[in-house]
Amino acid sequence: MYLATVGLEGLRGVAEASCVNAHAVYDAVTGIKGYAPLCPGGPFFHEFAVKTPKPAAEIVHRAAALGVLPGVALDRFASPMEDGHALLIAATEKRTADDLDRLVEVLKQA
């Protein structure tokens, strides 16, 4: 139904907007002290993982208290050798520039 509603050109626009948003957020988040790409140099579409300066579950909890859901803490998917400092962030076509700026500001605070 979604494809029938938006059509091929609409689907392309959704994909492009998602990709542009994700890459803009990636650049901003990886520019925050303590955050780094989990897979540097790897291509991505609308989601990416970052290493976090403290446990990602703590960051998600603090950000949620500020009204922002920053992503998924990857600790429940991690091996016992990893430290739980990984966050999966997604950006879709539905996020505005203000939404993305707010996410970045909250990650700085969290």
Beta bridge partners of 90: 47
pLDDT in tens, 52-75: 999 999 999 999 999 999 999 998
Which contacts qualify for 25-29: CB closer than 8 Å, 24 or more apart?
25/89, 25/91, 25/100, 25/103, 25/104, 26/89, 28/100, 28/104, 29/89, 29/103, 29/104, 29/107
Q: What is the pLDDT of residue 81?
A: 53
Phi/psi at 91 (nearest 5 deg)? -135, 125
Full-model pTM: 0.89
pLDDT for 2: 85
Q: Which of 33-37, 75-79, 82-86, 92-96 has the highest mean pLDDT?
A: 33-37
Here the CATH number for the domain that contains residue 42 is: 3.90.1150.10
How many Å apart are CA 40 and CA 50, to the nearest integer? 9
Q: Report the chain's mean pLDDT, rounded to a whole number.
A: 92
What's the structural domain count of the chain? 1
- Amino acid type, 28: A
Expressed as residue numbers, the domain containing 98 is 2-109
* 8-43 pLDDT per residue, tens: 899 999 999 999 999 999 999 999 999 999 989 889
Look at residue 79 and tell me whether its pLDDT is greater than 80: no
